[in-house]
């Protein structure tokens, strides 16, 4: 083999290796920046946040990262990244069904969208968990038997058997057909006046005492009628 042939063979092998490497690189999935176009059901359509690319990247509809127990209300423009899997995801995402094997997928066909934080997000307390949505928050059990719904103008709590709030020794309990409030002291107030169980109890006791002792001076031929002959116990407590 001549020197030229040897050199040509070497150059050709280099070109062949480079070509195969480029083909493998193009076929492999890539972690790329993307933003939400829309959310339909449990899937999201994303656009790739890239420019000056040699070809146009199409919008793709892919699964959103996360478990079924927390649903994210993704909004158009929300930023994140797409993460490629090494094989078919339709069997676990429901997009196409079936079961995966080890066949490498096309480079845009096995992606998952993962939201990432942004410096322009609203500031919150970094020591507490903050949950919010554009129209509110729903917390419920899987069967929607008990629900907590927070909206911009209301809070609605629906329970099957009991709703209970405890603050120290004060307890508010709501059950089917009954409610109770217990505590050391209490107060009821509106724009006109305020009262409390203690005030009402004292006032009622005074009324009962007066009722059982009062006399009429003009009901017995001008003589005093005396106290009532039947005692009114006035029992209004359990």
Bridge partners of 58, per DSSP, are: none
Bridge partners of 39, per DSSP, are: 44
What does the pLDDT read at residue 20?
Answer: 53
Q: How confident is the model at residue 172 (pLDDT cuts 50, 70, 90)?
A: very high
CB 89 within 8 A of CB 64: no
Task: Read off the DSSP letter of residue 94.
Answer: S
- The average pLDDT across 30-34 equals 95
Task: Name the least confident of 64-73, 156-165, 190-199, 225-234.
Answer: 225-234
CB 90 within 8 A of CB 43: no
CB 165 within 8 A of CB 182: no
For the four alpha carbons of 187, 190, 194 and 198, in that order, the dihedral sign comes to: negative
Whether 11 has a pLDDT exceeding 60, the answer reads yes
- Of the chain, the percentage scoring pLDDT greater than 70 comes to 86
Q: How confident is the model at residue 231 (pLDDT cuts 50, 70, 90)?
A: confident
Tell me the pLDDT of the chain averaged across its residues. 89
What does the pLDDT read at residue 27?
Answer: 54
What does the pLDDT read at residue 12?
Answer: 67
pTM exceeds 0.85 for this model? no
Whether 2 has a pLDDT exceeding 80, the answer reads no
CB 232 within 8 A of CB 212: yes
What does the pLDDT read at residue 228?
Answer: 77
Three-state secondary structure readout of 44-71: EEEEECCCCCCCCCCCEEEEECCCCCCC
CA distance 180 to 178: 7
pLDDT in tens, 79-101: 999 999 999 999 999 999 999 99
Give the CA dihedral 3, 5, 7, 8, nearest 10 degrees.
160
What does the pLDDT read at residue 75?
Answer: 98
More confident residue, 29 or 105: 105
Whether 195 has a pLDDT exceeding 60, the answer reads yes
Name all domains of the chain by residue range, CATH numbers in brackets.
Answer: 31-115 (2.40.50.230), 137-182 (no CATH), 193-238 (no CATH)
- The average pLDDT across 212-221 equals 72
Both tokens of residue 31?
Answer: 């972690």
């Amino acid at each position: 083999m001549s020197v030229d042939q040897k050199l040509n063979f070497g150059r050709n092998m280099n070109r062949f290796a480079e070509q195969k490497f480029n083909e493998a690189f193009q076929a492999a999935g890539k972690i790329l920046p993307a933003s939400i176009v829309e959310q339909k059901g449990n899937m999201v359509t994303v656009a790739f946040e890239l420019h000056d690319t040699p070809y146009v990247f199409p919008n793709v509809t892919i699964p959103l990262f996360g478990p079924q127990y927390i649903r994210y209300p993704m909004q158009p423009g929300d930023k994140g990244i797409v993460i490629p899997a090494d094989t078919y995801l339709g069997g676990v995402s429901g997009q196409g069904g079936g079961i995966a094997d080890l066949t490498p997928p096309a480079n845009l066909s096995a992606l998952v969208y993962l939201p990432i934080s942004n410096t322009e997000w609203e500031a919150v307390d970094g020591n507490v968990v903050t949950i919010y949505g554009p129209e509110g928050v729903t917390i419920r059990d899987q069967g929607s038997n008990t629900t907590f719904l927070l909206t911009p103008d209301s809070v609605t709590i629906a329970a099957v058997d009991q709703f209970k709030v405890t603050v120290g020794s004060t307890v508010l309990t709501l059950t089917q057909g009954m409610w109770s409030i217990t505590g050391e002291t209490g107060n009821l107030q509106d724009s006109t006046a305020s009262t409390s169980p203690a005030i009402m109890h004292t006032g009622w006791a005074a009324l009962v005492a007066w009722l059982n002792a009062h006399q009429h001076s003009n009901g017995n031929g001008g003589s005093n009628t005396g106290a009532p002959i039947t005692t009114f116990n006035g029992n209004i407590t359990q």
